Chain A
Amino acid sequence: AQTVTQSQPEMSVQEAETVTLSCTYDTSESDYYLFWYKQPPSRQMILVIRQEAYKQQNATENRFSVNFQKAAKSFSLKISDSQLGDAAMYFCAYRSAQETSGSRLTFGEGTQLTVNP
């Protein structure tokens, strides 16, 4: 079974600064997807960024980028120019590329990000 670990329960950053959230995972599969989701106090899970394991290029979405290290099974999220609206719980998630198990997301424990003005 796959596992996802986020070793930082809480992080804080100053507005306009850069912060990196860590995520490691364990899998025996070679093809899979990795995600970062954001959960603000409104409770809705919002997709921040997605990475396909077969792609060597790191995904980027505006101020959000990832550092995907497949051999190390590491998938960190970098938030540049942090804004107050970035404050939320961030979850790293894994999904298999196989249909039977690929329907489900396996989540890490989450990292609570605080942005200080």
Chain B
Amino acid sequence: EAGVTQSPTHLIKTRGQQVTLRCSPISGHTSVYWYQQALGLGLQFLLWYDEGEERNRGNFPPRFSGRQFPNYSSELNVNALELEDSALYLCASSLAWNYGYTFGSGTRLTVV
């Protein structure tokens, strides 16, 4: 069984640009979660999608957004990139909100 896959693995963007990160959950998992792991700040919850809807959102500005597609894959979009957006972005999936997570290996975003 394929795990949670994220693409790309690494990305370098310029301040002010926009970026899209992608996540494919484990087959059968309907919930997708996004976390930001910035150096020195630990893992911070970004977004939770379930059945195509945004269910919960962390304390991030509106320029962080995303969506979930009918096949349960998900995109995370970040507009107007800032230097402090440089981080590892982790995606996780689960069967439902109260089931355990499985994490992907993340996308390393560097903003210069």
Contacts and interface: CB of A to CB of B under 8 A. Distances in A.
Interface residues of A, number: 22
Interface stretch (A11-19, A62-70, A71-79, A103-111): A103-111
B72 interface: no
B48 A104 contact: yes
Given A44-B105, A45-B90, A45-B92, A107 B43 contact: yes
Interface in B87-112: 88, 90, 92, 97-98, 100-106, 108
Contact of B56 (A46, A50, A101, A107): A101
Nearest to B58: A104
Interface residues of B, number: 24
A105 B45 contact: yes
Interface in A17-59: 37, 42-47, 50
Nearest to B107: A43
Nearest to B59: A1
Contacts of A103: 31, 33, 48, 50, 55-56, 97
A41 B42 CA distance: 15
B45 A50 contact: no
A45 B101 CA distance: 10
